[in-house]
Chain A
Amino acid sequence: VSFDEKDVAKIARLARLALSPEELHRYAQQFDKIMGHVDELKKAQTEGVPATANPMGAKNVMREDAAEPMDGEAFLALAPAREASFFKVRKVIE
């Protein structure tokens, strides 16, 4: 793989990150090097090997679907902007 500024800009958009032109340039160079190392993985013989998602092999862990009371105000108080008991954000629908 080889990365240019355009590739990085596309990834940054997917990741919701505003980057400066210098950052785009620097990350492109670094990703070349890092992914060059990561590409070693392709050499591993993994045919027929199952994937590990959880190292202890846990599957779905179930519990009662019961609500527990919590102090909503404690969470709302952390918001950068709020109105009454809502988080306030920019308009989503035109």
Chain B
Amino acid sequence: VTRRRLPLMAIVLAAIVGAVWAGQHRLQPEYPAFSAAAIGWMPAAPPVGGVTETWFCPGVPATGVDDVGGSMIIVNRTSELRVGTVLVFNERAENRRLELSVDPYTTARVDLDATLAGEMVGGVVEVDGGGVLVEQQSFHPSGNSSAACSNATSDTWYLADGSTVDGSLDQVVLSNPYDQTVIASLQFATREGSRAPSAYDGITVPARSTRVIDLGAPGAGAQGEPVLAVTVQSTRGRLVVGRFQRFLGGGRLGTQVTLASPAPREQWWFANGFTGEGVTERYSIYNPTDDDVQVDPIFVGIPDAVQLDDPISVPAHEVVVFEPALVTSLPAGPYALVFSALDQPSVVIERATTTQSDDDIATTVIAGATPRPDGYLATSWYVAEAPGDATAGALVIYTADNATGTVTVSAIGASGPVPVPGLIDVVVPGPGAVLRLDLTDPSVVGRPLLIESDNRIFVERAFPDGRGDLRYSAWAIPVS
């Protein structure tokens, strides 16, 4: 090797080594993300300051007869006047657009049955500048309920827990807020497996209208099903999908409106679980993907976390029911639960809780909470409207961080959020603990609430459904 060649050879050898190293250390491809906000998540309060903020309410029964009605509430959570429009439409594609003006820290209410009566009335709320919360409320003799409206439409929606036993109503509400007709298809999974009836293929939803698919109707293909999961897939356009359930048998009673889940996820959280006397719970785990998945439930919020020995196997396009009461190592009482799919986002999980109080029964269904697709978990949550009466154990808070911390609940009045006496800096008992808060202070009654923590939390509400102490479940609205 000549002196001339020596440095050159050294560089060439180094290059060879580098190339071989690079060949053996292949990097995972990085894919660009355009919008996290557009990827399906649970309803959330967007940052204030956007050009417009839009909320989609899938629809509630608002016939206005037999005490069946509905409303939309719009909460201005900012210190400035908010103006916008409310578009209301029903299953007959009738529309009505209202001008909206909401003073700072106040709530506007749209009486749907008075505005535009219909079997199922949905709406779109557009507010300039944003900074609002929108919920739809359903009033029914067999139970009231409310659910946050969606921030976005989607071309897929999933519902994991349904029942048409003993004539129970399980109505899927397809809501099209756009100016174009949407075409969708629907398939469902029962204990017998997955089905995609041709009658549910190519369902048209006219522009600015709702359409109700009654799964338990004669000929609908899902009569008498104790377990019923649904996938709605739009082939043209996008929808908002909700559900109206009226339980009439199978151990269930009550009425509830809920919003469907726009996407399967790999992690689902439930804060307000309970095993014990008078409460029946089941979790419906629906796998709408083409691959079988394994799901691990982990009970937390109890002194010692409980994990099953074997994960739950959920075949593709099928729904599997998991009952915590059958887990012998789980102590009676409250708990929180997280399901973790071992694969890609692949499951949708809902919890159905049936509570017996005196002679009455209430069944409520709630989908789990999920982290935002980018992993974000909120530390602040809103409640659009607190119960009208003092309610014990109305808020159930689970701290996701493995740390101690505090929680403060503020009631939003005309001057803005004001901490509620007795709910200031409430110390979370310990890492991963479940906190139950009473909303008994007069200052919170009927007011919007702001729940803030120094940890990442999940806030589930258990508000009265209008029938004594019976409750319905719903999530508060995380701050995005």
Same complex:
no
Residues of chain A having any CB pair with chain B under 8 Å: none
Residues of chain B having any CB pair with chain A under 8 Å: none
